[in-house]
Structure 1
């Protein structure tokens, strides 16, 4: 029967804080890396160090 047609849905990939994001076609999100974020975020790092998240 052949391959399925491409999925029309999009998935959002975001940085750790969620302020920077982009959309990719459904099914390709597992191959994507989160975008680099240049904004200052207030989310604590998992290691608890007091460095700014970038």
Structure 2
């Protein structure tokens, strides 16, 4: 492989793995339970959803 190919491979590995790590850290700090449009709404609580499944 040429030097430019190795440089591009390393660059894109850093971009892809960096994005993966950044998204994992963001998800750890902002869990799905408290994010999004329905994150804190009363009808999106686990107890309420479980009661709807049993009905």
Relative contact order, CA 8 A, sep 6+: which one is greater? 1
TM-score (norm 1): 0.25
Structure with bigger strand share is 1
Structure whose CA Rg is larger: 2
Structure with bigger helix share is 2
TM-score (norm 2): 0.25
